[in-house]
Amino acid sequence: MSQVPAASLDSARVTPGTENGHQHGSLRGYLIGYAAAAILTTAAFGAAQTTVLTPASVVAAITVLAIGQMLVHLIFFLHISTTPNQRTNILAFAITMLIVVLIVGGSLWIMSHLQSNMMPTSQLMRMQR
């Protein structure tokens, strides 16, 4: 069995844009991230203004482009990767996302129940007279 040099294993675990192995990125990595973010932003504006797609397709396209934009920012600018030394950053990010999902989901759930249990405005106005 041949052994893989340790240097090639370390380079496989490096976040894109941090080829030198440091925690902050290189100019090349920042430029790639900037270009990718600009392309995704332009594509989202293009999808929103097009008449070729149906409204549901526009929403789906913008959602996919937004997720791609988040991944570009996480990888190229925040330097979050799957390396073992990034475990605490990934855990903090996951907990933050869980809290955001719980707050937004809970708020939407409460508002939908309030809306369905609310008395119609015409009936409410008659009761106040």
Q: What per-residue confidence (pLDDT) applies to 24?
A: 66
With 60 as the cut, is the pLDDT of residue 97 above it? Answer: yes
Q: What per-residue confidence (pLDDT) applies to 20?
A: 53
Average pLDDT over residues 22-39: 86
Average pLDDT over residues 32-44: 96
Model-level pTM greater than 0.75? no
Q: What per-residue confidence (pLDDT) applies to 78?
A: 86
The C-alpha atoms of residue 59 and residue 34 are separated, in whole angstroms, by 24
Chain mean pLDDT for the chain:
84
Q: What per-residue confidence (pLDDT) applies to 118?
A: 81
H helical segments located in 1-129: 6-12, 27-49, 55-72, 87-117, 121-128
Q: What per-residue confidence (pLDDT) applies to 128?
A: 81
Q: Which residues contact 72 (CB under 8 A, 6 or more apart)?
A: 33, 36, 37, 40
Both tokens of 19, joined, read 């080829």
Q: C-alpha distances in angstroms, 65 versus 46, 57, 58, 62, 71?
A: 11, 12, 10, 5, 10
Residues 80 and 15 sit within 8 Å (Cβ to Cβ): yes
